Amino acid sequence: MIHSVSDTITLHTGNSVPGYGFGTGGLRDDTLHAVRDALADGYRSIDSGQRYGNERDIGLAVAQSGISRKDITLSTKWCAPFQVDYGALEIPSVQEIVETLKESVVRLNNGRGVDHGGYIDLVLLHHAGPNREWRERGWKALSEAWEAGWVRDIGVSNFGIKQLESLSAPKPAICQLELNPWIQQKEVVKYCQERGIVVQIGTTSLVDIYCLDGVYRKGSFPFLDHRRRKEYRLIKISFDFELTNEEMMALDGLDQGAQGRQTLVDSDNLPE
């Protein structure tokens, strides 16, 4: 059970990650200031993605924080380009994808590459599209980086059961999902939990924050969306209560399935 932002969750690889993190999706010009504030306020997990375009400023914020790099969990995501006609694109080779991950290492470690001790704690496939071939090649690249040791853990984001089942070894350490009281994806969550895959969710509202007890009791852990930065400090006081069984049942009853989705990524409509 998570009782503070400093508590951790152990992955099936044996590595530990903070039980609460700070998400930077959509954050650009204000990245440096926002991440420095989050670190100063006690957060030790920062979630990014290559498509966000803010890895360099995150690396600089970490370097300026005065906190040891080993005490901060940095994650990013590799994403196939969003195109209308994927058939017109040449699928990058595994080595080309690996090279883009090495570039992320440099950015997130403030100029330090893999040859100088740079590393990333967690890399995810950003989504399961556009098709199985892109997905398999991306997962192979992540796996090679993990085996080489400069990526500590690998996982997926916005995957459904059919896409998770299509992955080759190794098993993902984390599956990042859109979860809130209105879209609970219970089948995917159950699938992951039965296989030792930790579920990570994005938290975007006070309603979600005050459902934290329910989140942790269901075996998942969240990160705070940067657009809710003013709510940082509420997190520190939101661990001192426990929902009743009746309240948990009430939360379960809010599920609207796909209709509760707030993002555009629906794994049910992506190829197996």
Marked catalytic residue, from 20, 43, 52, 191: 52
Structure tokens at 211: 């459902």
H-run or E-run covering 122: strand 120-125
Q: List the structure tokens of 227.
A: 């657009």
Catalytic site includes residue 52: yes
Classify the phi-psi angles of 42: left when phi > 0, otherwise alpha if psi is within -120 to 50, otherwise beta: left
Amino acid at 227: R
Question: In b/e form, how buried is each residue of 33-61, taking b as 16+ CB within 10 angstroms?
Answer: ebbbbbbeeebbbbbbbbbbebbbbbbbb
Q: Which residues are catalytic?
A: 52
